Amino acid sequence: MAEHVMVLPQYGMGMQDGEIVRWLKAEGDRVSEGETIVEVEAAKTTVEVPAPVAGTLKRIVAGEGETVDVRAAIAIIETA
């Protein structure tokens, strides 16, 4: 098994951070590549962030209500 670090992507040049609004998956849940798994508020808009790979959501690094920098780790996905 390998681990993939999921980071907060940058949506637009002015985006420097984002607040985790809601996780749509819980630790231990299976996720598909491209499936929306978290909602983030950035620049006064809410964006849906998809899983970059398929696997199991092993650990949520940034919880709901936390503000994280762009490219900071928000979750660990375990891949087969």
The shares of helix, strand and coil residues in the chain, as percent rounded to the nearest 5, are 0, 55, 45
Confidence band for 43, pLDDT divided at 50, 70 and 90 = confident
pLDDT of residue 14: 84
Contact status, residue 7 vs residue 72, Cβ threshold 8 Å: yes
- pTM here is 0.91
pLDDT of residue 12: 81
The total domain count for the chain is 1
Q: What is the mean pLDDT of residues 21-50?
A: 95
Rounded to an integer, what distance in angstroms lies between the CA atom of residue 63 and that of residue 14?
A: 23
Instruction: State the Cα angle at 80 between 48 and 73, rounded to 5°.
Output: 40
Residue 1 has pLDDT above 90, yes or no: no
Rounded to an integer, what distance in angstroms lies between the CA atom of residue 80 and that of residue 47?
A: 28
Residue 34 has pLDDT above 90, yes or no: yes
Q: What CATH number did the domain enclosing 50 receive?
A: 2.40.50.100
The domain of 7 spans: 2-79
